[in-house]
Amino acid sequence: MAVLPIYKLPDPVLRQEAREITEINGDLQRLIDDMAETMYSAPGLGLAANQVGELQRLIVFDVSHKEGRPRKLQVVLNPCIVAGEGEIIREEGCLSVADFCADVRRHAQVLVKGLDREGKPVEITGEGLLAVVLQHEIDHLNGILFIDHISRFKRGLFLRRLKKQAAAR
């Protein structure tokens, strides 16, 4: 396994929509393992394939250690939110958006369907933190970042700071 570079805003790959996975092979299995290693070493709660430069509909996540339980890696290929209800506002950060966190409004519960790493159908009902992570990572696959869910004012402040930092380098 390898730790992959995580692409950061403003890299254009983060704004591109990922393609559906149609073939499960050794390359995909290696990518899954490398993404898991990358997520754990970052450390993060989830990672979408386009965050490591791969435009494939693939997410890995693990909220168990955040909740005080042993690691439990979960993988979903071609994930799709089929239902969402309730509302939760929770502070989010992102491995691709350096040094910025903000409160984001999301569904409190979601139902996600997709495939596991072997290609078998999987359904995940997520509540609370898991619901937030699922929505956050699936947004990535659609070229959406958590900053797209905050006010224009806060987003503008962050983007100006980002430009200033880039100009200073």
Which are the catalytic amino acids?
A: 137
- C-beta of residue 60 within 8 angstroms of C-beta of residue 66: no
CB within 8 Å of 163: residues ≥ 6 apart: none
Q: Is the alpha carbon torsion for 13, 95, 111, 22 positive or negative?
A: positive
User: What does the block give as tokens for 141?
Assistant: 């696959």
User: What does the block give as tokens for 154?
Assistant: 């806060």
